[in-house]
Structure 1
Amino acid sequence: MSFVFNEAEFKKESEEFYSTYPADVSEIEKELNQRYKKEKVSAMVQKKWTYEAIAQKCKVKIFRYCPFYSEVITGRDRNSVAGAFPPIPGLGCWALRTHYPVKEFDDWRKPYVERNLLFAEMMTDHSHHYADVERVLYCGFEKIRKEIAEMQVESTDEREFKDSMLAACDAAITLGYKFSEEADRMLQTENDDSVREQLIRIRDTAGKVPRLPAKTFYEALTSVWFTRELCTAMEGSGFAVMGHYDRILYPYYRKDIEEQRITKEEAQNLIDCMMLITEARWKHNENTSGTNASVVIGGCDREGNIIYNEVTEMILNSFEKYEVSSPKLQVRISSKHPDKYKKHVALIAKLGRNCLSILNDDVLIEAHHRAGKKIEDCRMYLAGGCQEPVLSNECNSRAFMYLNLPLLLDAMLFPKELDFWSKENLRMSRVDTAQNFEQFYESVVYNTAQFLAMCAVHYYRFEQIWSEINPMPLYSATMKSCIEKKTEITKGGAVYNSTSFSLIGIGTFIDSLYAIKKTVFEDRKYTLEHLKEMIKADFQGFEADRQYLMNKLPKYGQTDAGVDKLAKQVFHDLAKHSSGMPNPRGGYYEASLFAFFFYDFVKENTWATPDGRHAGQRISRGCNPGETSENIDAATLMNSLRSIDMAEYPGCGVTYLEMPVSQTDTDVALFEYILSAFVHCGGSALDFNVVDKDKLIKAKENPDQYRNLVVRVCGYSAPFISLSEELQDEIIQRALRNG
């Protein structure tokens, strides 16, 4: 039985189907609401009811031109492969909706969010999780169910947890049978021989996989995809990480090739189809971001053996062939990976696919090991969403709260006008009494640490609410440790349980501190009060001074010894004080530097800053220099990382690289050099945005001619024409500035 991927027909069929979403499941939800009104059970029992209702009452959809099955019609939005908080439509979020909104959380965050000090939409992370698809792949839900059934429980909570996990496994098995029955029904009227072949394959497979362990390459792909999609549909949360595909799929591929069950061409067709499923589902527009779906390749196995094989090449071939914004390709790379691998990755970058993230194994494995995790587990890290790392046996909570560092610094300079302190009865260390920069800097670090600790105390309470409003027994069932501990995933059932606050604007923060250091304390050009006067006036009437601050003082990223020394200290101190705080799941906070597009969201209420930046202008992204810094090319950007220990950031620190080059004239060797330099200089994560500035301008003027032009906005990728005019203009300006 063979498969040839028909991209055009698959996309056409997907568009026709998903354009009808969300499906009406109001009658099922009405029954659940009536039952809940009568019984008032725990959220754990609500999830059990949800699984049972989905398995018994929801229809399934099989696409004629896709050999994979996973679409359960639960009332989800079309754009629902990302996070689900606030709760989105669909039965998966039914339990969450009955407990939302959480007034305690909304009341706390409101004053900070309104003034753009924080971007905090979620109490905890509802987007970047990884269900252990390998466990399902090797065991199957039937064996997992048997393990759960043997659990000895002693309390009501444990009994409810056990019963809910059993219901989750039963739902997965039942839905498999439903897909088999639906394929058999479709066969009664199907006349296309190639489609019939795939329907027969689905009919004969769906009753076995993922109920039983996968045995073939096709079954393995199906099991991994089905498990991830089922969690997304049934848990009311986002499972961004699709899996470490080349590592887990290669043994199945190799065995099928040796036993002549598959050809390399058919395997490539299966991979091609898999890589386009989320793209076909998602509908981009200016009000949406990305799907969060991410596939991981490269890296190593538990013993440290390098992963690079024929499946790696097939996945790269798919990204070479198709211009897609989803899934994102998370490429794990190290100094030990072969040149052939790096060259192929460099080609994907050169082609401007712009859904590519590079993750440096030499840094990230060490970062997680320093955080107290076993080295064998650290080697198995994955990433999803933007670039959020997560170990395969870890429940992470990342990218749910972003702290605006430049505005926090302004709040220290103007504590009365920007009073973020009295609400929490925080005692701020006064920066205006400092006799030298060392004292000033110590006060800044103390105040930042105090504010982060305050946030962690509040989020300790908010994370505890997670298990009360949306426990995830299906997700828990995929984690062996949850069964062994008899503890649900949101309560600490995973082996590792991490949390991260994302710090944004570090480049602007460093430049502002350096401006104060030079002009106030070293050169005595201004008093601190005079500098504050200029900032408060947004430099109106002080343009010459602003130009001096902007253009005469060295900036982070420009390879200046004084700035580099300060940057190293700032990175270290921020990592130190955003790490180590406990969370309620038995884990700790880990340092993270990333942006998504909140660096843009928070600009409106961010005052002018000491580096000469005007109020309302964008602040820096990830680990990057300020948005207005000049003379920052790829070489200087890579070099700026050399003095910084990025292994202090297990939550990763992202470098965003704009490459305004012609994709036809630029040598792929340039991108190979950048990859090698990034690894050599100790970067953590790297996002490419390779754009032809002339093509961007033409695309804005004639969008219909450039529908496949994908750009990297920040943490996510999207078709250029789907973005708002403001974001389009920003990306064009980036290209012009870096050109």
Structure 2
Amino acid sequence: LVWIRWHPNIDQDFFDFCLETLSGPTCFPLMMSDMAVPAMFMALGVSREDAFDYVAAGCNELAIPGQAYFNPNAHVGYLQALEQALTSGRGYKGQWPANPNLPPPSSLKSFDDLVGGLGRLMRRQVEQSYAHEMGVLAAQMSWGQTPLTSCFFDGCIDRGRDMIGGTKYNILSCGGTAFANMVDALAAIREVVYERKDATLDEVARACATNFQGYEPLRARLLAAPKHGNDDPRLKDIVQLVEQLRDEPMKAICRDPRDGTPFGNCHVVRSGAVLGGRHTPASPDGRLAGTPLASSVAASAGAEKSGPTALLNSILMLNPAKSWQSGYNVNMRFQREMLTDPSDRAKVRAMLNSYFERGGQEMQINCVDTATLRAAQKDPDQYRDLVVRVAGFSEFFTKLDPAIQEDIIARTEHGG
């Protein structure tokens, strides 16, 4: 993992060199912002001095080197909660027992009624995920000691304790999956069901249950609703709502039992956007069953229609210090000429400077066009050295599962 730390006084010649490097055969460097990341750690109780010593760890989760034990095992699923809300807990296929505490969709007369039910369902997910995380932590403390690794963490030798409990900071996190899908789904439901009254919640649920077979006109209306990634002001309140649906129960429930530290929030999916999507039914954003979920907080594949600046403006609707203390991914794909041509590269650099100045946390770039990726699929022997960024990690394109290859190709390709 090669990454740089952007800050307001970054040498612009160096930043230009980094962007030019991205046009080569690798996908490095990844970029983190000193304007955003330290504030996120300080919100978790980390001192200012230590917060500015942060590093990217794993894929691009965040850590304090030699000072913190980090474990991101808790996760909640936005679309699962929405599926339960639309089916009184039964699921689109009746795969779960009905929940007598959930009202039928026909009784949810307003968007606020739906959101209220979602809040209760998300709270239950957080409770279950927190219990799982505590079980994992207890097992690690009992049987997962790592004495050699612990020697390299400050405080462990002085305290005579393993890194799981002996470090200066304990940082646990709760992640959410399918963030952009949830934003798009709620935006579509609000517009199609509650504003235009073109369908009912029951009809939306039946459409998802059948993978939209026989409901093609309804799917078209759901797809035409506002989509995350296009700088649409109609989505700002929904972006903040989806953050809140996870944040409020997490902050009320999730505390580290060792020192009471609140959990951080994250959305790092690695290749899970594809793998998770395989087992996820159709969703009210118009996404078909089995297709990939959105990758972290960026737009769903193909949803961004208004250019790279609009995508970044959409990301800036998020609140990193409050809602993403443990990291998120932003993947963008550019045509190679955008980073090889000095004039175009200067425009990209100005755009990224603005993004980070306004609070953007992270950025990672693929610089490869669709034609090259298709050629690599047809003749992999000629493209063995082609490296692409999947999520927080990179891999040789020809070694990837075909479904992950298609997910990368489906990402919007920005050009001049």
Q: Matches of residues 117-516 of structure 1 in structure 2 within 5 Å? A: 328-351=1-24, 353-392=26-65, 393-398=67-72, 400-414=73-87, 415-417=89-91, 429-430=102-103, 432=105, 433-490=107-164, 492-516=165-189
Q: Residue 690 and residue 576 in structure 1: after superposition, are their counterparts in 2 closer, same or farther (change >3 A)? A: farther
Q: Distance in 2 between matches of 1:572 and 1:380?
A: 29
Gaps of 5+ in 1: 1-327
Q: Residue 653 and residue 728 in structure 1: after superposition, are their counterparts in 2 closer, same or farther (change >3 A)? A: closer
Q: Residue 708 and residue 335 in structure 1: after superposition, are their counterparts in 2 closer, same or farther (change >3 A)? A: same
**TM-score, structure 1 as length reference:** 0.52
Q: Distance in 1 between matches of 2:162 and 2:25?
A: 42
Aligned partner of 1:478: which letter? Answer: F
Q: Distance in 2 between matches of 1:595 and 1:518?
A: 28
**Aligned equivalent of 1:652:** 327
SS where residue 714 of structure 1 aligns? coil
SS where residue 166 of structure 2 aligns? coil
Q: Residue 446 and residue 463 in structure 1: after superposition, are their counterparts in 2 closer, same or farther (change >3 A)? A: same
Q: Residue 577 and residue 591 in structure 1: after superposition, are their counterparts in 2 closer, same or farther (change >3 A)? A: farther
**Aligned equivalent of 1:670:** 347
Report if aligned partners of 1:655, 1:683 keep a CA contact under 8 Å in 2: no
**TM-score, structure 2 as length reference:** 0.90
Report if aligned partners of 1:659, 1:690 keep a CA contact under 8 Å in 2: yes
Aligned-pair distance for 1:736? 5.9
Aligned-pair distance for 1:395? 0.6
Gaps of 5+ in 2: none
Q: Distance in 2 between matches of 1:431 and 1:513?
A: 18
The question of 1:592 aligning with 2:266 is answered: yes
Q: Distance in 2 between matches of 1:389 and 1:446?
A: 29
Report if aligned partners of 1:333, 1:359 keep a CA contact under 8 Å in 2: yes
Q: Matches of residues 544-693 of structure 1 in structure 2 within 5 Å? A: 544-551=217-224, 553-579=225-251, 581-586=254-259, 587-648=261-322, 649-662=324-337, 664-665=340-341, 667-693=344-370
Report if aligned partners of 1:592, 1:650 keep a CA contact under 8 Å in 2: yes
Deviations 1:27-64 (A, max 9, x none): xxxxxxxxxxxxxxxxxxxxxxxxxxxxxxxxxxxxxx
Q: Distance in 1 between matches of 2:95 and 2:84?
A: 7
Q: Distance in 2 between matches of 1:384 and 1:701?
A: 35
Aligned-pair distance for 1:493? 0.6
Report if aligned partners of 1:709, 1:719 keep a CA contact under 8 Å in 2: yes
Q: Residue 636 and residue 408 in structure 1: after superposition, are their counterparts in 2 closer, same or farther (change >3 A)? A: same
Deviations 1:132-174 (A, max 9, x none): xxxxxxxxxxxxxxxxxxxxxxxxxxxxxxxxxxxxxxxxxxx
**Aligned equivalent of 1:236:** none
**Using CA pairs below 8 Å that are at least 6 residues apart, which structure has the higher relative contact order?**
2
SS where residue 411 of structure 2 aligns? helix
Task: Choose 1 or 2 for highest CA Rg.
Answer: 1
Aligned-pair distance for 1:451? 0.9
Report if aligned partners of 1:343, 1:672 keep a CA contact under 8 Å in 2: yes
RMSD of aligned alpha carbons: 2.4
Aligned-pair distance for 1:372? 1.6
Aligned partner of 1:355: which letter? Answer: F
Aligned-pair distance for 1:638? 0.8
Aligned partner of 1:483: which letter? Answer: I
Aligned partner of 1:712: which letter? Answer: R
Report if aligned partners of 1:333, 1:361 keep a CA contact under 8 Å in 2: yes
SS where residue 498 of structure 1 aligns? strand
Aligned partner of 2:145: which letter? Answer: P
Deviations 1:704-725 (A, max 9, x none): 2222211011221011122223
**Aligned equivalent of 1:704:** 381
Aligned-pair distance for 1:429? 4.5
Q: Residue 697 and residue 455 in structure 1: after superposition, are their counterparts in 2 closer, same or farther (change >3 A)? A: same
Q: Distance in 2 between matches of 1:535 and 1:700?
A: 32
Aligned partner of 2:113: which letter? Answer: Q
SS where residue 358 of structure 1 aligns? strand
Report if aligned partners of 1:383, 1:389 keep a CA contact under 8 Å in 2: yes
